[in-house]
Each structure stands twice: as C-alpha cells, then as structure tokens.
Structure 1
Amino acid sequence: MTDVTTATAPSPTGFRLRTPSDWVDFSIADEASENRVAGEVWTRGRDAGLSEIQAGAFTESVRRSVRQARRSGAVHAAGTFQLYEDGPLTATVLVSMVTPPATGDLLGALMAVARPETAAGTWRRVTTARINGIGTVGRVYGIQTVVQDEATMRCAVMHTVVPLPGSANVLVVTGSSPNIAEADELFELFDTITGTLELTADELVLAPSTLAP
C-alpha cells in the first residue's frame, strides 16, 4: 500500500489590489487618519484652485466617508481627488472584512438604504463577475442614497463580495463616488480595480501598485 499525502493550499489571510497611479492609498485604522486624509484633500483642492468654501465642502465630505468606513470595519482604502474644467471628481475604493448576516443576504444588506428603493434617481442591479484566480463573485451596483453623519447624498456605488476559502467571512470591495453624472465610467473603473484583486496568505494588508496604462 502506498500512502498519498495531499498538500492543501493555506487559507488566504491577506490580499493585494492595484489602483491607478494618480490614486492615493491611505490607512483608516484610527481617528487620526481622518485628519490626515482631510488635510491632503484640502491641500490638493486649494492647489487646484478651489475656493476655501469649495475645498472645505469636499474635505468634510471625504472626512465623513473615512469616518463611516472605519466604523463599518474597512481595513484599507484608496481614493482620488481631481479637478476638471466641469468640476471636481472624487472617488474611493474601500476593502472590508465582513461576516455575512444570519439571513445570508449580504448583497441586500449592503445596498440597504435609509430611503425607499423607489426614491427618485436611485436604482440597483444585482449580478456576478469573474476575477482571475478567484472565480465568480457577487456584485451589486447602482445609484444609492448614502447617509453619512446625518448628511445625505446620492452616490454611484459598486459592492463586490469575494468569499474567503476556509473562512465564514468575505472581503467586500466597495467603489463609491458622488459624481453620479459619470456613473457608467465610474462603474467601469471600479470593475477594473476590483478585477486586480489577489488573495494571499500574507498579513491582511493592502499592497498597492499601479494599473497598467
């Protein structure tokens, strides 16, 4: 008789995600991170020619986003702030470790909002996507009413749910932007960024690198 030993791959405990070269990766591990990110947004906005009122409004919006992400369990984030002739563009991608609810309907829970689904201008689509090396993942995207520290805004939002082999938890990659006029282009960008996700056996940290042009 011959004994056969089958080697099993270690369960993933980390991940890597590539972001565009003009994006900034930042830690949101503590309250001080809110001030660091807000300070960078303020500086970029003023350097780009925004007035103090405009820069202040966008800075506060980003601060609220970082605060909410940190409180909801996000482990890392990346974002961009760019000023074009027709106005500024802000977008973020958050990576969170999430335990699915008892109902198992994580996609429904992610898109649950304070306003009815039929609220003017909001919609959602539930679908799947494929990520090389990972396989089929769940996805829900649309225009969502987002409430942050009692401030309400409509955002283009895409959640991608990635099962973690050997774990009851999942990784959720969330792309979000208040620039809903560019929603189609933003959904394509969020899909491209999420498509670079790799699960690793390393420590659960983001290893940023740049997307190919």
Structure 2
Amino acid sequence: MAPVDRFVLDVPDSWADLDISGDALAETRAAALAMAGGAREQAAINDMFRQAREISRAARRRGALFAAGTATMFDDGLFLGYTMVFAVSVPPGRELTLPVLTAQLSPAPASGPGGAGEPGAGKAPAGRTVSTVTLPGIGEVARITGTEEASLTTEVSVRMLTMHTVVPMPESERDYLIITCASPNLPLEAEVYELFDAISGTFRFLPAKAPSGT
C-alpha cells in the first residue's frame, strides 16, 4: 500500500465543522425554542445546546483531528449529532485489547486530572458491544457501540449513543484512528446508528503528498 498521511470522512451536507458558537447554530436554537411546547421543553432545548457547546470544547481539548456536528430541527424535534476522529497509540509492549482501547476511549471524571473529556481514566460503560465491520478500501475493522455517560464538566453529564470505529494506520503496529460518532437523541437509536454506520463507512486514507520539488 502506498504511504498515507491524510484521510477523508464524508458527513451530510447539513453538518459543519464542530463549532456551535456560529450564527447558523444560533438560528437553529431560536427556531427550536419557537417550536417548543412550553417552558419545560424550552429548558430541555437550552440544555441540549449547552451540552453541544461542551462537546465541542471537549473535542478540541482531546486533540480531535477532525470534528463535525449538526443541530437540525425536524418536524418531530431537534436532532444533535457529532462525529470526530482521534489518534490512538497502543503503549509499547501491549496489544490493542478491549481494556486498553476502553482506557483510551473513556472520558475521565470532569474533576479529575486534565478536565472533562480527557481520555484514559474513565470507567467503561455497561452495555458496550464489540463487533467487526468492513470499510471499503480498508477491510475488516473493530467497532464498539453503546450508550455512554460522558462527564463534560463538573456540572454537565450527558448520556449519548456512541459508535467507535477503530481503523489501523497502514504500516504501523501501534497507531490507530478512532472514528467516534455520538448523539444525545436516545429514542432514535436505530436511526442514529444507521446514520453513524453510513458516515463511518465513507472513511478512506489518501496517498501522502509528494515533497515539493520532486
């Protein structure tokens, strides 16, 4: 396989770089509040957007190589979704087992070292399932799905549907890229996982750029 140093991950046209401070997100929040059925529903919408802000900040703190998200109003409510790509290295002398990967993926408590969203110190959530999928052009890779409770700050904790797809880096025995998709829309589990599977399936490596002057 030719050397690679880049990757591509396609997201729906309605998704954008994960920055929920922009005007487009403000407009979506205003539209969602206008459609709310009362003060309780408005409070829930405001809470979802607050969670989105914290997720965006946590992704940046964890050094996401790529991050995109959406806040879209549909007739039956608000949908929030996120996808991120992180680099993970297995410590020398260890194999990529589920406990090792869990330590990398699980967030630390918000009050712990490194703050919210830092990998490596969290407790593995119950109900995680491990499977394999085939990515076009890459082959069979591991996938972990489940409902996780992420401590975003000392005050904000949110349950999210998550899908982690583990892609080994070519010509490396210890380096992996993790495609992480997440959504707090728990009642839409089947639809959300179908969407996450479609997004993750677009991942592909690109050949390394030739040095200038060659």
Q: 2:3 aligns with which of 8, 11, 16?
A: 11
Q: 2:203 aligns with which of 190, 197, 200?
A: 197
* Structure 1: 5+ residue stretches without partners: 1-8, 28-35, 204-213
Q: Distance in 2 between matches of 1:190 and 1:38?
A: 24
- TM-score of the pair, normalised by structure 1: 0.75
Q: Cα RMSD between the aligned structures?
A: 2.4
Q: Distance in 2 between matches of 1:107 and 1:186?
A: 23
Tell whether 2:21 aligns with 1:38.
yes
Tell whether 2:128 aligns with 1:124.
yes
Which residue number corresponds to residue 144 of structure 2? 140
Any conservation in 2 of the 1:110–1:159 contact (CA below 8 Å)? no
Any conservation in 2 of the 1:161–1:170 contact (CA below 8 Å)? yes
Give 1:164 shift: 0.7
Any conservation in 2 of the 1:74–1:95 contact (CA below 8 Å)? yes
Q: Which moved more, 1:41-50 or 1:51-60?
A: 51-60
- Residues 146-203 of structure 1, C-alpha deviations (whole Å, 9 max, x = no match): 1101211110000001001123321110000001111121111111111111101247
Q: Distance in 2 between matches of 1:77 and 1:189?
A: 16
Alignment of 1:163-202 (within 5 A): 163-167=168-172, 168-202=174-208
Q: 1:189 to 1:110 in 2, by over 3 A?
A: farther
Q: Distance in 2 between matches of 1:116 and 1:187?
A: 20
Q: 1:101 to 1:71 in 2, by over 3 A?
A: farther
Give 1:46 shift: 0.9
Give 1:84 shift: 2.7
Q: Distance in 1 between matches of 2:124 and 2:206?
A: 39
Tell whether 2:78 aligns with 1:74.
no
Any conservation in 2 of the 1:154–1:178 contact (CA below 8 Å)? yes
Q: Distance in 2 between matches of 1:62 and 1:117?
A: 21
Tell whether 2:172 aligns with 1:162.
no
Question: Where does structure 1 differ by over 3 angstroms across 4 or more consecutive aligned residues?
Answer: 50-56, 110-118
Which residue number corresponds to residue 31 of structure 1? none
Any conservation in 1 of the 2:165–2:179 contact (CA below 8 Å)? yes
Q: 2:84 aligns with which of 80, 94, 100?
A: 94
Q: Distance in 1 between matches of 2:129 and 2:91?
A: 20
Percent identical among aligned pairs is 30
Number of residue pairs aligned between Structure 1 and Structure 2: 182
* Structure 2: 5+ residue stretches without partners: 37-41, 108-121, 210-214
Any conservation in 2 of the 1:143–1:155 contact (CA below 8 Å)? yes
User: Which residue identity does 1:64 align to in structure 2?
Assistant: E
